[in-house]
Structure 1
Amino acid sequence: MMIKTFDFPARVGATGEFEPIVRSVQFGDGYKQTSGDGINAQHESWPLSFVGALSDIQPVVAFLREHQGWRAFKWRNPLSELGLYQAGKFNIQANGTYFTLSVTFTRVYQP
């Protein structure tokens, strides 16, 4: 199956979270040894919001449902870095004729 690209415009102001994945061992004499955990030793996530009419939000919902929370898709983050991401749980808030969809994209790595 071909990897699809998520190209819907998110709301401006997304805040990415980057956390290094570090292994450490503390020895009895005060010495501590640390290293990165694996070749992709950084966790990256982006909480995003999409606001619009039902006709704007429905394609985003369809894309997220199609990927079922576990299928990866291509997405260019606000730093213009193209990568593979997954999106699990999402929330939709109805505000009259406009809707707000909230979801978090998490970076994944595949061989």
Structure 2
Amino acid sequence: MAVETYKWHSQLGAGPIEYSQTVRAAQFGDGYEQVAENGINSTAIQLPMKHVGAEAEVNELRTFLLTHVVKAFVITPPGEEKGLYRVVANSVRKNVISSKFAELTFTIKRAYGVYA
């Protein structure tokens, strides 16, 4: 099964890019603490995104996003490097601007794996 590529020109959404790190820590009685990263991919990246366009284009993107909550896709998000990302569950929101245009907001999260 081939990994799909995100083909739309979207921009960052209203919120900031979030970086969250998972670490393991052991605190000892004398105040000494050992800290280590939790695995080789210990930093999670989450990006709020926004896409404004014609109703048909927004609906096509919405369908793509809703099918990629579990399945990863390739994208180069603004301000980040190309990689695998998934859509955060329940983050897709559509706002109708006019009879011809709509806005789609959603959040993507870095997924780790191998792609060609």
Q: Aligned Cα RMSD in Å? A: 1.7
Counterpart position of 1:38: 39
In the TM superposition, residue 24 of structure 1 has moved relative to its aligned partner by 1.1
What does residue range 73-88 of structure 1 map to in structure 2 within 5 Å?
73-79=73-79, 81-87=81-87, 88=89
Residue identity over aligned pairs, in percent, reads 32
- Secondary structure of 2:11's counterpart equals coil
- Secondary structure of 2:67's counterpart equals helix
* TM-score normalized with structure 2 length: 0.84
* TM-score normalized with structure 1 length: 0.87
Gaps of 5+ in 1: none
Q: Which has the larger share of strand?
A: 1
Aligned length in residues: 110
1:5-42 Cα deviation digits (max 9, x unpaired): 01211135673212222111111111111011100110
Gaps of 5+ in 2: none
Structure 1 consecutive aligned stretches of length 4 or more whose deviation exceeds 3 Å: 12-15
Contact 1:84 1:107 in 2 (8 A): yes
